[in-house]
Amino acid sequence: MPATREPMPLRDLFREVVSIPTASYLEHGVRAYLHQFAEARGLEHGEDEYGNVYLRYQKGRARRPLVLGAHIDHPGFVVTAVAGRRLTLEFRGGIAASYGAGERLRLYGAGDLEACGTATIAKVTAGERGTIATATARLDEGASAEVGDLALWDVPVCRFRGEIAQARACDDLAGAVAVLATLDRTVAEGATGTLVGLFTRAEEVGLRGALVVGRARLLPDDALIVAVETSSMAGGRAVQGGGPVIRVGDAIHLFSPMVTRWMVGVAQEIVAGDASFRVQRKLMDGGTTEATAYDLYGYETGAACIALGNYHNAGPRGRVAAETVHLGDLDGLVRIFGRMLATVPKAESYLGGLRKRLDTLGREAATPLRRSR
């Protein structure tokens, strides 16, 4: 492992990662970055046959692995036909078809991801669910495009306004940042344990990367998994700046009570030592997360996220906008993960301790209940 190094400042890491163009099945830019990140820190790294990326940290005797998973795609268009200056586009992801018409797109070469100008959307076509399925656009002056190129919303790629980060692709590249920052700090601290960063593909088109991992049993059977996301705060689901969110479920499923209780317990331990630390415990039912896939395939799985503004770039007044997250929430997430790694050997005791306390209360309740009949 390389000589001890200081972990990268969170803002710098965030800027580097979210600035990489990506879309479902076109995540190669992020994948290349992940391998470079691992090489620089002496981490084991590799890919499965589906292109999901694994970074692994190990120090001391191998023990039950903590797996932090995030997806590395984001909703965006892909060029499917070029006729003169007219483009036909396929949208990979989900945003209402009331968005898009008249919006400008930034074009990136499919192979090298080099910027190649802009285009303006003329018309969007809705799919069965009322979300954008396809669109047509016209190349702006000086732009060029080929079939397979990426066409992404022309919103700020990354900028900071105090503690608020605005970016084209917080979902879920900010989640990937949380995983990378945890690995970075773990390497710097030389902590004991087994920590795996799992970076999956094609989540925005149906949890594809996570589903193949679960179905093929590509993680150890005893893995403790946390799906890491940014999740819509719309409707008061969570408060941006209110701390990281321990996510008990999503729109269709509830997650492992053991992992959830473990996360709550370590968050309480952090609060005990730092009264300024803030945390939220929420359902976050604005969508479906990869935790559902892992949990239903039998892995002990929980989820954590940070509150996301302008989910999938759906801004106010029917216009697309940069997504937003709070850097303090992101840092809090990394602190929870670091504490989880340190407490892996007693992870199950957090729920066991709760059962024991409730059992004591139940035993004490028996006599007065009988007497008061």
The distance in angstroms from the start CA to the end CA of the chain is 68
Kindly report, residue by residue over 260-279, the tens digit of the pLDDT.
Answer: 999 999 999 999 999 999 99
pLDDT higher than threshold 50 for residue 280: yes
Q: How far is CA 152 from CA 114, 297, 360, in A?
A: 13, 33, 57
| Mean of the per-residue pLDDT values of the chain | 96
Strand bridging mode 245-247 / 280-282: parallel
How far is the C-alpha of 261 from the C-alpha of 72, rounded, in Å? 27
Kindly report, residue by residue over 32-57, the tens digit of the pLDDT.
Answer: 999 999 999 999 999 999 999 999 99
pTM for the model stands at: 0.95
- Confidence (pLDDT) at 4: 58
What pLDDT band is residue 286 in, cutting at 50, 70 and 90? Answer: confident
pLDDT higher than threshold 60 for residue 2: no
How far is the C-alpha of 80 from the C-alpha of 146, rounded, in Å? 8
Q: What average pLDDT does the segment 218-227 reach? A: 98
Three-class DSSP labels, the chain: CCCCCCCCCHHHHHHHHHCCCCCCCCCHHHHHHHHHHHHHHCCEEEECCCCCEEEEEEECCCCCCEEEEEECCCCEEEEEEEECCEEEEEEECCCECCCCCCCEEEEECCCCCCEEEEEEEEEEEECCCCEEEEEEEEECCCCCCCCCCEEEECCCCEEEECCEEEECCHHHHHHHHHHHHHHHHHHHHCCCEEEEEEEECCHHHCCHHHHHHHHCCCCCCCCEEEEEEEEECHHHCCCCCCCCEEECECCCCECCHHHHHHHHHHHHHHHHHCCCCCCEEECCCCCCCHHHHHHHCCCEEEEEEEEEECHHHECHHHCECCEEEEHHHHHHHHHHHHHHHHCHHHCCHHHHHHHHHHHHHHHHHHHHHHHCC
How far is the C-alpha of 275 from the C-alpha of 151, rounded, in Å? 45
Share of the chain above pLDDT 70, in %: 99
Spell 292-327 as b/e; 16+ CB within 10 A means b: bbbbebebbbbbbbbbbbbbbbbbeeeebbbbbbbb
Q: Judge whether 197 and 349 are in contact, CB under 8 Å.
A: no
pLDDT higher than threshold 90 for residue 62: no
Q: Judge whether 329 and 308 are in contact, CB under 8 Å.
A: no
- Which amino acid is present at 235? G
pLDDT higher than threshold 70 for residue 1: no
How far is the C-alpha of 72 from the C-alpha of 179, rounded, in Å? 11
pLDDT higher than threshold 80 for residue 240: yes
Q: What average pLDDT does the segment 158-171 reach? A: 98
- Confidence (pLDDT) at 287: 87
- Give the pair of three-digit tokens for residue 36: 């470079």
- Which amino acid is present at 32? A
Domains of the chain: 10-73+158-351 (3.40.630.10), 76-153 (2.40.30)
Kindly report, residue by residue over 82-125, the tens digit of the pLDDT.
Answer: 999 999 999 999 999 999 999 999 999 999 999 999 999 999 99
Strand order in the sheet with 280-282: 44-47, 53-59, 193-200, 66-71, 224-232, 300-308, 245-247, 280-282
Kindly report, residue by residue over 293-347, the tens digit of the pLDDT.
Answer: 999 999 999 999 999 999 999 999 999 999 999 999 999 999 999 999 999 999 9
pLDDT higher than threshold 60 for residue 3: no
Is the bond preceding residue 172 a cis peptide, omega within 30 degrees?
yes
Q: Judge whether 222 and 228 are in contact, CB under 8 Å.
A: no
- Confidence (pLDDT) at 5: 77
How far is the C-alpha of 119 from the C-alpha of 142, rounded, in Å? 10
